[in-house]
């Protein structure tokens, strides 16, 4: 992608959004890995009008674009992203209750929304209390834990079509939810959703949420930079078991290492690069495929050109079995 195209997109975006349209914007602080390069162009959208302006800038320039939420399942290239990164801002961080329904904006953090459900004595969203995702990201990837997922509670999804330049609603049953994915329209941004929950005793809801938080603290490296679960669980098995069985917990590449606490987590130590993480991911995939004939599918999303070639020598020198 040429600098001229990015400059053209930036001009269109600044006409509508002013200095909120940023060039060469650091992305590492926006991710839970805390690594990766800058976005060529960045906008934190506060309204549908902002998203429409982003769509116009993409149409006028042809640059690629992507949406990020809380950044908990992203690996951003060391080179960054060569187009527009769009993130929903405070204008999309809200929630409202109507009986058994919670309607919320796409940037509402899922744990905060679970807390709103608790306040109103509504059950069904407890699983989200420890998932570091925005509502939009959680819906897009059908986030889940502890036997539940967004598919179980989403009644309506609100998306903004970048192509059509407008918002539309889809019933939850039309979203095409499956394990850690959805079939929402390509080229759309999840700007809100309505969840259908059930009344329950607040004390019982709080107890379940406390249990989930405690389980996460015991089993996951919450104090270290990571992206959450790296791989999806294969049918009838667990990615963590497979990784541990091939000696994964002893592996490190540069500053990236498999967590000693949970084998399906990779932690980024000081000095880690995205190339280190990518090499480690591919090494684990090869080992599991060679031993078990199972192709582990990454749950983490790759943003920008992920090139692990530069980390290969470090893998050979520092990986331990």
The torsion angles phi and psi of 296, rounded to 5 degrees, stand at: -70, 130
Question: Predicted confidence band at 88 (pLDDT cuts at 50, 70, 90)?
Answer: very high
The average confidence (pLDDT) of the chain is 94
- Tell me the pairing of strands 22-26 and 38-45: antiparallel
Question: Predicted confidence band at 306 (pLDDT cuts at 50, 70, 90)?
Answer: confident
What's the pLDDT at 308? 53
Evaluate if residue 157 carries a pLDDT over 80. yes
Round to whole Å and give the CA distance between 306 and 302: 7
pLDDT digits (tens, 9 = 90+) for 143-156: 999 999 999 999 99
Contact, 107 vs 89, CB < 8 A?
yes
Q: Which residues are catalytically annotated?
A: 180, 229, 299
Contact, 164 vs 158, CB < 8 A?
no
Question: Predicted confidence band at 320 (pLDDT cuts at 50, 70, 90)?
Answer: very low
The torsion angles phi and psi of 289, rounded to 5 degrees, stand at: -65, -40
pLDDT digits (tens, 9 = 90+) for 90-99: 999 999 999 9
Question: Which domains occur in the chain, in start order?
Answer: 3-88 (3.30.43.10), 92-217 (3.30.465.10), 239-318 (3.90.78.10)
pLDDT digits (tens, 9 = 90+) for 55-80: 999 999 999 999 999 999 999 999 99
- Mapping DSSP to helix (H, G, I), strand (E, B) and coil, where does residue 34 land? coil
Contact, 262 vs 221, CB < 8 A?
yes
What's the pLDDT at 307? 67
Instruction: Read off the pLDDT of each residue in 256-273 and give the average, rounded to a whole number.
Output: 98
What's the pLDDT at 16? 96
Evaluate if residue 191 carries a pLDDT over 60. yes
- Tell me the pairing of strands 81-88 and 38-45: parallel
DSSP assignment string, 90-142: GGG--EEEETTEEEEETTSBHHHHHHHHHHTTEES-GGGGG---BHHHHHHTT
Question: Predicted confidence band at 3 (pLDDT cuts at 50, 70, 90)?
Answer: confident
Round to whole Å and give the CA distance between 95 and 3: 39
Largest Cα–Cα separation, the chain: 59
Round to whole Å and give the CA distance between 156 and 159: 10
What's the pLDDT at 112? 98
* Span of 29-43, 222-236, 262-276, 294-308 with lowest mean pLDDT: 294-308
């Amino acid at each position: 992608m040429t600098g001229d195209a990015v400059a053209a997109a930036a001009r269109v975006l600044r006409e509508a959004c002013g200095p909120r349209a940023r060039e060469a914007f650091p992305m590492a602080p926006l991710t839970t890995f805390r690594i990766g390069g800058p976005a060529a162009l960045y906008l934190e959208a506060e309204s549908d009008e902002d998203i429409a302006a982003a769509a116009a800038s993409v149409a006028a320039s042809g640059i690629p674009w992507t949406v990020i939420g809380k950044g908990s399942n992203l690996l951003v290239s060391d080179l960054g992203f060569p187009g527009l990164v769009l993130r929903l801002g405070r204008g999309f961080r809200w929630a409202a209750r109507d009986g058994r329904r919670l309607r919320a904006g796409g940037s509402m953090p899922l744990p905060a929304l679970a807390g709103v459900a608790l306040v109103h004595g509504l059950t069904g969203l407890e699983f989200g209390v420890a998932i570091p995702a925005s509502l939009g990201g959680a819906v897009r990837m059908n986030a889940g834990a502890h036997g539940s997922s967004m598919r179980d509670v989403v009644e309506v999804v609100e998306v903004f079509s970048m192509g059509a330049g407008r918002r539309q609603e889809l019933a939850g049953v039309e979203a095409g939810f499956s394990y850690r994915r959805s079939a929402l329209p390509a080229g759309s941004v999840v700007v809100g959703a309505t969840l259908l929950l059930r009344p329950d005793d607040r004390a019982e809801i709080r107890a379940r949420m406390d249990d989930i938080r405690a389980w996460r603290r015991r089993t996951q490296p919450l104090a270290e930079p990571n992206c959450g679960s790296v791989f999806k669980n294969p049918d009838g098995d667990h990615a963590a078991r497979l990784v541990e069985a091939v000696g994964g917990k002893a592996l490190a590449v540069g500053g990236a290492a498999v967590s000693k606490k949970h084998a399906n987590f990779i932690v980024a130590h000081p000095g880690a690069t995205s190339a280190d993480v990518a090499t480690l991911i591919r090494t684990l995939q090869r080992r599991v495929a060679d031993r078990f004939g199972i192709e582990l599918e990454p749950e983490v999303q790759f943003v920008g050109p992920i090139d692990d070639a530069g980390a290969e020598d470090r893998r050979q020198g520092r990986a331990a079995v």
